[in-house]
Structure 1
């Protein structure tokens, strides 16, 4: 039986109540030495199912409930490290991967973990065809070909044949970072199958993995309790329990970390992080991620279909002001679609606020007095702050923009439906340390028809469609010569600049957490798969 089954409901409730009481006490009191108490906004933590769960928050949870076949070194993402797979080989023709799983691994249920479980977990993602099937579909995998291409050769050998030419490093990176690559206990999941859903309803709020922690309790937008799995194959985690508290208010988090009511605070506002820099009891830890903060326009809108209007908009973003005043602790200035730090990334082009140039472009496009539009944006900082700054600079050229804030479903849902004019958002892949990850998410659009519904490609969402860029991206990911591949990715960025793409990056995401100095061994992962198994406290 798994850990969450053997714990009786009344015991689970009592454990959670006790954990919550720690941070509810009015007087400062240190959290227990054997527990890590995390304060965070859990509004976007909606599902734990590796086939359908999205967002950075769930990545950090799944990475501790489950194991992946490989892991990426948090200090150098290009370094792939063994996990469930102790070794792997790429075929000489780059057409397949063969992974050898280690012996002796057991799920939290006690059942042995085999290559058949790994193959089934990947099949399940493709058969359900939920959000997390996207990276696999981009490589050419589908529900129809999954069982043929992803096979358990024997109990310890998994073979993944690539359906179409691609860079196998990208597939390895996805196996180490995507929540879809978590390996599930097939028998435990299928015991809860209903109406052919492969356990999807049950996995929304349960887990069936082999990770260092087991899910004991989860109350949506309240708290989550993870307890140590003492039978973990790497050896027990150093802490007995991890408690995640829903604390959406940044100021509350600031007071809680200062008082010692939480050990780690995530998602805080810049001013509160800045204030905590002077607190000797805490440490501020920034982690650069591969995701962009951006301004996107819909080229289905006749105004933004005009290249001159897109150029004008590019000149009406106050890049320097936004990055200096709004983005500290949220992001670092970056204007390219490919993330910082890769060999293929071009230097920033140096776009800047130029109202006079924008006015000339608008007049040439037939809008000498500007026009009216709307900006959709999440109500959270820094996106809402970027949108407000953009509203002000657009007005300098006569563009009257109303700001419409909303939830993720309202903002990104409108993008997925192609029913928007401007969106200030955050996205663009970047989980895998490879140029293709960013370009696939932000630029690539192989079929611009509405009927194609390529909703996970933001190029499709914005209706930006460049056959030349698409061809070059497809060619680059298949190129086996690293120097030639790098040159192709640089050319893609130059073409995107010349064609004035519909998405303009402003900053690359910086996630900043604040840690109590009692906490040791915490290493924030750039791909959000932060492992807590080695964390301990004074």
Structure 2
């Protein structure tokens, strides 16, 4: 009954929007998107920490430096046209772009940058930790970041490379807001937080026209955008929770794009040939990990054999088709520093030989914790079948997401099937998780896969992670991360298997849509219709 009621409410929630445009083509100057956006908690860039809110922030705000369409591999000038790093002094000086104004008409000033970063620290919402990595606190911020004319100079602490700092400043909470406008709407010391949950105050290619939670986001083009006015006059993102309803709206012409269709629906639409379906790799990597607190899983031969017992192609060609692609390194494909080699294939015969040559006694009985929902349970069953071929018996233990993650954090599992996404698009984010653990003691909790699996990472690898984070030469830095990924591939109890993908169905007259590996890298500015 609850499921039926929820479906009925979801259908009713879009009825008012359908009445006026049922079975009619969308306006030529407007892109209409059907998408589930009920994850949004806040659209204030100092608080936004959800997938859909990250997408929104990219449309309405800019950072000093940022990744931009169509080239998502290169960190490019944003509100700053140039910057100068002093590695010895641990400072970076930015020169602001001339002639840029906020949507209010107020000119962008260096003081706006300081205000924007300061409010992230003082509000201390979920994404604030990204800026505190630089050693910034509400107490020391005034001494760490200075504004003078059209320049912003910042200093940072710790063994950080300028490249890492720049990637932090390209992340969502570093977005620049209009101080004069936001401060004028402050209530009870909230630094405009309540007002920014329903309004925008940025420089981005779009301006928020209307936001109704769990109903719609209506964005109007900013004709004065410094990167060039958007090709379309508006983008309307309609909240449509049900995939079946999204498909219906797309097929009837009421929307131009559907973002949450199932693989079966995508398959049918692709066969019909009436729409375009694009597949975009996402940043989340899915992995199998073996807890080193279980004696039977500590032999490196077991780690190596495990890599040949995963039926990668079998999964991605069947129930994961369109949802994931084979990827066997901890940093996702599509970004500098990624390792895109996939050296392992499903080969039980080879796995058995590896175990036999190492003198590993089978059978081995292992429990496998997994989130009790698709596609994770299907993946677990595939692993169970594959590992059984080599005498490793996986007993699947399904649980809720919170149960599985709580067990993982407590290091009480034996084997675990999970996924991991970076907090910012810098390879250090995942290197710290998959290749670093200097203190493996139970009392030294770390939010990493290495510590949670009880893996005492070799000292050489720990030192390389620290050195890569501090390396100033971009090419050398990328090469260090590629080498780290090869080492984790070769010898670790963490088997990276797959990288998530997302598929978007759209009308054939839609072009120019860019969807990167994270929600922050979704761009509507270049979209055209016709």
TM-score (norm 2): 0.82
Gap change, CA 1:77 and 1:537, over 3 Å in 2: closer
Q: Partner of 1:175 in structure 2?
A: 169
Query: Separation in 1 of the partners of 2:508 and 2:330?
Result: 36
Give the equivalent residue in structure 1 for 2:239: 246
Shift of 1:281: 3.8
Q: How far apart are the structure 1 equivalents of 2:143 and 2:410? A: 33
> Equivalent residue for 1:488?
480
State the match for 1:287 in structure 2.
280
Matched, 1:468 2:460: yes
SS of equivalent residue, structure 1 residue 322: helix
Are 2:348 and 2:386, in contact at CA under 8 Å, matched by a contact in 1? Answer: no
Q: Report Cα offsets for 1:300-350 as digits up to 9, x if no partner.
A: 677766766655654543222112223332232111113335466263331
* Cross-structure match for 1:82: 77
Matching of residue 45 in structure 1 with residue 36 in structure 2: no
Question: Closer, same or farther in 2 for the Cα pair 1:490/1:285, shift >3 Å?
Answer: closer
Correspondent of 2:29 among 25, 34, 48: 34
For 1:286 and 1:360, how far apart are their aligned partners in 2? Answer: 36
User: Is 1:509 the counterpart of 2:509 in the alignment?
Assistant: no
Within a 5 Å distance, the mapping from 1:226-241 to structure 2 comes to 226-229=219-222, 232=225, 236-241=229-234
Offset at residue 101 of structure 1 (A): 1.3
- Secondary structure of the equivalent of 2:365? coil
CA contact (8 A) 1:63 1:530 kept: yes
Paired with 1:208 and 1:411, the residues of 2 have a C-alpha distance of 40
C-alpha separation in 1, matches of 2:444 and 2:215: 39
**Which residue of structure 2 lines up, in the alignment, with residue 7 of structure 1?**
none
Alignment of 1:306-345 (within 5 A): 313-340=306-333, 342=336, 345=339
1:274 aligns with 2:267: yes
- Distance across 1 between alignment mates of 2:178 and 2:479: 43
Q: How far apart are residue 77 of structure 1 and its match?
A: 3.3
The root-mean-square deviation of aligned C-alpha atoms, in Å, is 3.8
Unaligned runs of 5+ in 2: 1-11
Corresponding position: 1:350 with 2:350? no
1:3 aligned partner = none
**Cα distance change on mapping 1:206 and 1:344 into 2, 3 Å:** closer
Deviation at 1:283, TM superposition (A): 1.5
- How many residues are paired up? 513
Confirm whether residue 67 of structure 1 aligns to residue 41 of structure 2: no
CA distance in 2, matches of 1:441, 1:98: 30
* C-alpha deviation, 1:463, in angstroms: 4.7
Counterpart for residue 160 of structure 1: 154
Which secondary structure state, in structure 1, belongs to the residue aligned with residue 288 of structure 2? strand
Aligned to 1:119: 114
Quote the Cα distance in structure 1 between the aligned partners of 2:322 and 2:255: 20
CA distance in structure 2 between the aligned counterparts of 1:201 and 1:418, rounded to whole angstroms: 39
Given that 1:129 and 1:143 are in contact with CA atoms closer than 8 Å, whether structure 2 keeps it comes out as: no
The change in CA–CA distance for 1:383 and 1:127 in structure 2 (over 3 A counts) is: farther
- Answering whether residue 45 of structure 2 is matched by residue 54 of structure 1, we say no
**What CA distance in whole angstroms lies between the structure 2 residues aligned with 1:115 and 1:531?**
26
| Stretch deviating more after TM superposition (239-248 or 359-368) | 359-368
Q: Give 1:284 deviation, angstroms.
A: 1.6
CA distance 1:229–1:476, shift in 2 (3 Å): closer
Aligned to 1:213: 206
Q: Residue 520 in 1 paired to residue 508 in 2?
A: no
Q: Per the alignment, do residues 536 and 370 of structure 1 end up closer, same or farther by CA in structure 2, a change over 3 Å counting?
A: same
Task: Report deviation, 1:192.
Answer: 5.1
Cα separation, partners in 2 of 1:262 and 1:179, compared to 1, 3 Å: same
Distance in 2 of aligned mates of 1:127 and 1:365: 55
After superposition, the C-alpha distances for 1:493-524 in whole angstroms (9 at most, x for unaligned) are 3432454243x221223222122123233222
Residue 78 of structure 1 deviates from its aligned partner by 3.8
CA distance in 1, matches of 2:407, 2:260: 25
Give the secondary structure class of the aligned counterpart of 2:342: coil
Judge which range, 356-365 or 50-59, deviates more.
356-365
SS at match of 2:146: strand
- 1:438 and 2:430 equivalent? yes
Change (3 A) 1:370 1:418: closer
1:370 and 1:444, CA in 2 relative to 1: closer, same or farther beyond 3 A? same
C-alpha spacing 1:26/1:72, structure 2 compared with 1 (3 Å): closer
CA distance, structure 1, for counterparts of residue 138 and residue 456 of structure 2: 27
Q: Displacement of 1:276 after TM fit?
A: 1.9
Structure 1: gaps of 5 or more residues: 1-16
* In structure 1, C-alpha distance between the alignment counterparts of 2:120 and 2:208, rounded to whole Å: 21
2:505 counterpart SS class: strand
**Alignment partners' CA distance in 2, 1:130 and 1:451:** 27
State the alpha-carbon separation in 1 of the partners of residues 388 and 349 from structure 2.
10
The residue matched to 1:64 in structure 2 has which SS? helix
How many Å separate the matches in 2 of 1:450 and 1:207?
Answer: 45
Larger mean Cα displacement after TM superposition, 260-269 or 124-133: 124-133
1:100 equivalent in structure 2: 95
- CA shift in 2, pair 1:372/1:508, >3 Å: closer
Q: Tell me the distance in 2 between the aligned counterparts of 1:18 and 1:310.
A: 50
For residue 56 of structure 2, give the secondary structure of its aligned residue in structure 1.
Answer: helix
Residue 253 of structure 1 aligns to a residue whose secondary structure is: helix
